Amino acid sequence: MHALFAYLQNGDAGPLRAIHGKTWSGARDVSWALGKLLLGDKPDCAPEVRAAAEYIQARPDGLRDTLQYLLDCKCGEARGRVEQALRAGRKAAGVCPFDGRTEFVAQGPDTVSCPRRGHPPHVPPQNRGLWQVLTGPLNPRPGDLDILATLAPLERSSVVVDVGCGLGSYALPIARRLGKGGRVFAVDQAQQAIDYVAWRAAREGVRNVVAHKGRAEKLDLERGVADVILIVDVHLFDPPSAYARTHGPFRSIYDTLKKGGRLLIVSESSFLPPPNLYESLAKDAGFRLRTRFDRVSIHYQSGRRRFWAFEK
């Protein structure tokens, strides 16, 4: 997980609660307070935490929702600890991190609820503010870039499309490898992710990245522009709607690739598609399967990742 996510999730809820409960003159003041909380006075602060904190300070919109969502996560964690103790036969009680006073209420022999949940200041998970883009990895999984380079060797002038780019974990390192002669389109359906990638690319001096809002099934890019299209850890068929099962994103991807271009898909084994679904839909779109294999690594959340390489 992102270092910032781990920092806040493992830390005390008190500072977050103090920032959330204080009266501020504007969202920018809130963002600076949260950024200061993260950065502190430690010069050895992890680069990932510093980058995320500086981004928060630069983008104050949605900070209230962000803080509420973080505290909501901590409330869920606290309830989980109480329920785990109850299941083990131990007496346990807990309070909501929002105010540090409201006690959890027993709902059964081993379940509890929070009286504040569902009411202000709790917020629904879909209203997560900036936190939506600050919970993903900042760097590629170890070994992934070397495997991808083997599956689809790149030239200095190559054009790569990273679909579901998130925080630019793959788009930015690939852009650096290509240099100024190549281009990388970082595509995501979340505007916050696009904003973050554009900000981070400018901050790090990576000038050959184009942040582009779009979806796998509707890329809205020039036909035949890409040498390689990359899809890493994206739930392409979640939920597997009727449209997804019969069309999916492969037609749009096929049209965006040059003849002979490669489509590379990487997925954790914990959320693989139904057997042969990618192979079948890709074939219907005109692709040829070049290879498919699994790789085991301690660096993977589920221990195993699957790689597909298709060719137009």
CA 162/CA 117 separation, integer angstroms:
37
Dist CA 259 CA 274 (whole Å) = 28
Least confident of 20-29, 76-85, 112-121, 180-189: 20-29
Measure the CA–CA gap between 117 and 94, rounded to whole angstroms: 14
Q: For residues 178 and 200, what is the distance between their CA atoms, to the nearest angstrom? A: 17
Task: For helices 27-39 and 63-87, give the axis angle rounded to 10 degrees.
Answer: 50
Closest among 66, 88, 67, 81 to 114, alpha carbons compared: 81
Span 286-306, average pLDDT: 83
What is the pLDDT at residue 129? 43
pTM here? 0.64
State the Cα torsion 262-268-269-273 to the nearest 10°.
Answer: -60
| % of the chain beyond a pLDDT of 90 | 29
CB 305 within 8 A of CB 266: yes
Distance CA 194, CA 208 (A): 15
Q: Could you tell me the two tokens for 292?
A: 């498919």
- The dihedral built from the CA positions of residue 12, 17, 22 and 24, taken in this order, carries a sign that is positive
Please name the helix (run of DSSP H) or strand (run of DSSP E) that holds residue 243, with its range, or none.
helix 242-246
Cα–Cα distance between 101 and 121 in angstroms, integer? 14
pLDDT the model gives residue 215: 85
Range picked from 80-89, 95-104, 296-305 for highest mean pLDDT: 80-89
Residue type, 112: V
- DSSP at 130: G
Assess contact for 135 and 5: CB atoms under 8 A: yes
Predicted confidence at residue 59, as pLDDT, reads 58
Higher pLDDT, 307 or 296: 307
Q: What is the pLDDT of residue 166?
A: 83
Comparing 131-135, 158-162, 259-263, which segment has the lowest mean pLDDT? 131-135
E strands, 107-167, where? 112-113, 159-163
